[in-house]
């Protein structure tokens, strides 16, 4: 049996869930995995709820549907917890990482204390500090690198640099890397 890990990102248009999915795929590819990452939009509107999907496997990936039963769920916007079924299909013991200023205990309570491994990190505050804007996508990769065995921190930093250089000014790329390092340190477990 192929070893397949499926990651579902919940975000809002403009928060970078698509880019984060791509960076995760690139980083995983650099670690030797086969990858697939694609977004699921409504109408490509800024602020509208959207998802992006990442598959990471040790075999060719042929499956091309959305991810209903993820191993890992990452939520970029805490307001989506109330409106989107972020827990949908996440099995017992699955990983849930949420960008929020609340503690893991508070979030767990608001979700009805699900039987998952819940982590929180204030990625918005970190990105405002390091990038100057609330773009929480890259710090969530730092949190993921810390709490899962999917990603190495240094490879994540390198993938982000490769993906963002040329598209963004050098200080912004540096800010994103700093955001990843900080989220790696600051992610909290319930």
Partner 1 sequence: MGILQPLEGNMAVAEAMRQINPDVVAAYPITPSTEIVQTFATFVADGKVDTNYVAVESEHSAMSACTAAAAAGGRVMNATSANGLALMWEILYITASLRLPVMLTVVNRALSGNINIHCDHSDTMGARDAGWIQLYAENVQESYDNLIQAVAIGERMDVRLPVMSCLDGFLVSHSYELLEVEDDDAVREWVGPYKPNRPLLDIENPYTVGPLDLYDFYMEHKRSQWEAYPTAMQAVIEEGKRFGDAFGRHYGLMETVELDDADIAIVALGSAAGTAKDVVEQLRDQGVKAGLLKLRCFRPFPGEQIAAALAGRKAVCVMDRAASFGAGTGPLYHEIAAAMYGAGHAVPIQNIIYGLGGRMLRPEEIETVFRDLVQIAESGKVTETCKWLGVRE
Chain positions contacting partner 1, by CB under 8 A: 18, 21-22, 25-26, 29, 34-41, 43-44, 61-66, 68
Q: Which is nearer to partner 1, 93 or 166 (CB)?
A: 166
* DSSP SS3 for 109: helix
Q: How far is the CB of 71 from partner 1 (least distance, A)?
A: 17
DSSP strands (E only) in the chain: 4-12, 34-40, 49-57, 72-75, 95-99, 117-121, 188-189
Measure the CA–CA gap between 165 and 160, rounded to whole angstroms.
Answer: 8
Residue 20's closest CA among 95, 112, 130, 99?
A: 99
Q: DSSP code of 90?
A: P
Q: Which is nearer to partner 1, 120 or 138 (CB)?
A: 138
CB 159 within 8 A of CB 35: no
Q: Which is nearer to partner 1, 68 or 185 (CB)?
A: 68
Q: How far is the CB of 18 from partner 1 (least distance, A)?
A: 8
Q: How far is the CB of 65 from partner 1 (least distance, A)?
A: 5
Structure tokens at 142: 């730092």
Q: Which is nearer to partner 1, 70 or 175 (CB)?
A: 70
Measure the CA–CA gap between 37 and 74, rounded to whole angstroms.
Answer: 14
CB atoms within 10 A of CB 114: 14
Q: Which is nearer to partner 1, 29 or 111 (CB)?
A: 29
Q: How far is the CB of 116 from partner 1 (least distance, A)?
A: 23
Q: How far is the CB of 144 from partner 1 (least distance, A)?
A: 16
Measure the CA–CA gap between 105 and 114, rounded to whole angstroms.
Answer: 11
């Amino acid at each position: 049996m192929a070893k397949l890990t499926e990651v579902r990102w919940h975000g809002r248009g403009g928060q970078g869930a698509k880019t984060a999915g791509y960076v995760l795929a690139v980083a995983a590819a650099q670690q030797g995995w086969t990858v697939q990452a694609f977004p699921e939009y409504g109408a490509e509107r800024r602020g509208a709820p959207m998802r992006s999907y990442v598959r990471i496997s040790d075999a060719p990936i042929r499956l091309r549907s959305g991810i209903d039963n993820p191993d890992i769920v990452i939520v970029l916007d805490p307001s989506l917890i109330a409106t989107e079924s972020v827990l949908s299909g996440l099995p017992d013991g699955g990983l849930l990482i949420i960008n929020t200023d609340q503690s893991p205990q508070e979030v767990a309570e608001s979700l009805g204390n699900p039987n998952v491994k819940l982590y929180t990190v204030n990625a918005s505050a970190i990105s405002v500090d390091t990038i100057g804007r609330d773009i929480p996508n890259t710090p969530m990769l730092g949190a993921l690198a810390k709490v899962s065995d999917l990603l190495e921190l240094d490879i994540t930093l390198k993938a982000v640099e490769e993906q963002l250089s040329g598209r963004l000014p050098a200080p912004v790329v540096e800010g994103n890397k700093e955001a990843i390092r900080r989220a790696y340190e600051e992610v909290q477990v319930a």
